[in-house]
A and B are shown apart, each in its own frame.
Chain A
């Protein structure tokens, strides 16, 4: 939403989960909550993501998308499904 999440992208193969399309399957490389459109502080956002199971190495798959601007998204994280907004998913770097 705000900021330019692409600017902090350091590897061409790494993308932010918030940019991924439905059907995307990948693995979490790391969390980077510094530049997102989220209203939470980077630290708080990272903590919440970890609490919902977004940790390095977890397999992620985007299962569903919302109606308006394809937001929010439903993400399979290993064997649980989490719904979140794309602005928060920007903090999840996947490959």
Chain B
């Protein structure tokens, strides 16, 4: 092999510690992207061997066979077979196996062998296997399989030294790939391969007489039909407390930092540079700032998700929630991403990567924005406090709180309904993926691997904030700022802008749902981030900013709007695709504009119909 860089591909069944191995080989030198046109994550990285050879590593989606039952598995198959466009065939296939659990991987190894690529078997987690009393005759197994075998402990320092050494040895020799003899296995092939794998295990592996009972003991508590749900609820409670309270100081710091930066620019810019100053302060800094503020929440959510995933709890949560979610046509694994969406739909949508099946994942992405995210809260509280009296109903329930609860409930109900409808109409011709997953043994999460994972997600989020989201923010600023107000004009400048023109143009369309042109105008900067609409309403109603601005806006709105309009706007905010960043993330995560457009249109239609009904019903009931 004389090429400059060796291409190495990691293949393996789920839960074999493939990702940990990838993390410890490449450290933070990772690139996460999507394969073109599909929702599948492409993870690549690089390292240099002890003898100074550079190696690129591709972490292929986990699979139990090369049959390609899902787009992820098709990618693994096509790359290994060298038929994936734009992706070079790997020079060396590393098949990663969990040394404590060889049955399923060995069958995959036998199948991979037929492909004919140079290959090496990595027995990962060998430390755990040894501790449990599993002894593996490596020489015998290597002989039976006809493959070199290395052991590794991906999560420990030095645990991949042997692998690195063997990679160097491999590179020192020349290798010829044999012609592929792989064909899609039939049931008989699978069974024969499994029998062969079981024979090799019987010949080379001695299992302990006493199996590991710790996992079983934990599971008897964690998967208890009642107790398990209570534990899940407690875990989620802690997670959300963390997301909202721990993140709060950091978010305030970021938010204050961005306003201070904006103000600084405002102050140091000379007079007459109004436009550039406005662009920097209102377009660039506050636009990007309003998204980056969510970074602490994103980091905390992913910290929890990755910890639970590494520990092995995520599969259990899916087990517990499967029937409950299944009623709405959702996969058990959709539970955590949807819950994360209560903080912000962006990490929720990013977290859908734990769902293997493409259709299940798309359904979850479609409904995630319907979960009441924290950016809706300022809008809800503003309108509720202005229009809903703080009276007590049924003796002890605060009416304002009840309305707030109703808005949350409406979001959840509609999300589940949309999912059921999508399952029925969109995926009717496709058999849904059955719930069938391995419950891996519990493992102590390794902090280094978690840290790399959180760092990668944070980097992805910031990259997005810096590219797609930034360009949307600039567009929205442009619409709200141009053309500038003529000299001596009365009223706020936004009233002369494109946003106002669009607002006026939209007014006839929005009148049936009770919106005036001021609301239409405020909805445009509200696309940047939902809560920005509050400030925008203040601007169009010419309210001076300041500490009491929100109270003043409320008072003005209470005079200018009817209750029917206010209710209609509340309902609008449950459904409307009022967040450019979420749409941008959907586009990135689904690998194309199609699902972003679908989300935008269905949410818009839902919002319009629901607001229309609310407004007209409220008017018919005489709520002026």
Contact = CB atoms under 8 A, between A and B. Distances in A.
Contact of B435 (A51, A55, A67, A83): A83
Given A53-B104, A55-B195, 20 more contacts: A40-B431, A41-B431, A48-B434, A50-B187, A51-B67, A51-B104, A52-B64, A55-B191, A56-B191, A63-B219, A70-B225, A72-B319, A72-B435, A74-B219, A81-B219, A81-B438, A83-B319, A83-B438, A83-B439, A85-B434
A46 B185 CA distance: 13
Contacts of A88: 434-436
Most A CB contacts (10 A, CB to CB) among B101, B103, B315, B441 go to B103
A66 B320 contact: yes
Contacts of A85: 322, 434-436
Contacts of B69: 44, 48
13 contacts: A39-B432, A43-B187, A49-B436, A51-B64, A51-B104, A53-B103, A66-B319, A70-B225, A79-B211, A81-B441, A84-B435, A84-B437, A85-B436
Contacts of A72: 319, 322-323, 435
A39 B326 CA distance: 13
A82 B322 contact: no
A39 B225 contact: no
A9 interface: no
Contacts of A51: 64-65, 67, 104, 107, 190
A85 B220 CA distance: 18
Contact of B436 (A65, A80, A83): A83
Interface string B199-213: 000000001000100
Contact of A44 (B207, B324, B431, B435): B431
B194 interface: yes
Nearest to A70: B225
Interface string B549-565: 00000000000000000
A87 B320 CA distance: 16
Contacts of B103: 53, 78-80
Nearest to B228: A67
Contacts of B224: 64
Given A38-B434, A43-B187, A80-B101, A63 B216 contact: yes
B315 A83 contact: yes
A83 B440 CA distance: 10
B323 A71 contact: yes
B438 A52 contact: yes
Interface string A19-53: 00000000000000000001111011111111111
A52 B436 contact: yes
Interface in B420-447: 431-432, 434-441
A70 B226 CA distance: 11
Contacts of B320: 66-67
B194 A50 contact: yes
A79 B101 contact: yes
B219 A64 contact: yes
Interface of B: 64-65, 67, 69, 101, 103-104, 107, 187, 190-191, 194-195, 198, 207, 211, 215-216, 219-220, 223-226, 228-229, 315, 318-320, 322-324, 431-432, 434-441
A39 B64 contact: no
A47 B190 contact: yes
B434 A84 contact: yes
Contacts of B194: 50, 53, 55
A83 B437 contact: yes
B344 to A, nearest CB: 29
Nearest to B13: A51
A65 B229 CA distance: 12
Interface size class of A (residues with CB under 8 A): 35 or more
Contacts of B223: 63-64, 74
Given A47-B67, A66-B323, A67-B225, A40 B434 contact: yes
Contacts of B322: 66, 71-72, 83, 85
B346 to A, nearest CB: 29
A74 B198 CA distance: 22
Given A67-B225, A74-B219, A80 B438 contact: yes
A85 to B, nearest CB: 5
Nearest to B223: A64
A48 to B, nearest CB: 6
Nearest to A66: B323
Contact of A47 (B187, B323, B432, B439): B187
A82 B323 contact: no
A66 B211 CA distance: 24
Contacts of B104: 51-53, 80
B65 to A, nearest CB: 5
A12 interface: no
A63 B223 CA distance: 9
A5 to B, nearest CB: 16
Contacts of B228: 67
A92 to B, nearest CB: 12
Contacts of A55: 191, 194-195, 198
Contact of A69 (B318, B323, B440): B323
B111 to A, nearest CB: 10
A66 B219 contact: no
A55 B211 CA distance: 21
Nearest to B186: A47
A30 to B, nearest CB: 11
A45 B101 CA distance: 23
B474 to A, nearest CB: 47
Nearest to B441: A81
Contacts of A81: 215, 219, 438-441
Nearest to B225: A67
A52 B438 CA distance: 8
Contacts of A46: 187
B142 to A, nearest CB: 22
Contact of B225 (A50, A65, A78, A83): A65
Contacts of B215: 81
B437 to A, nearest CB: 5
Nearest to A85: B435
B434 A66 contact: no
A47 B185 CA distance: 9
A-B pairs, 7 with minimum CB distance: A68-B323, A64-B223, A81-B439, A67-B225, A51-B64, A84-B436, A50-B190
A77 to B, nearest CB: 9
Contacts of A79: 101, 103, 207, 211
Contacts of B431: 39-41, 44
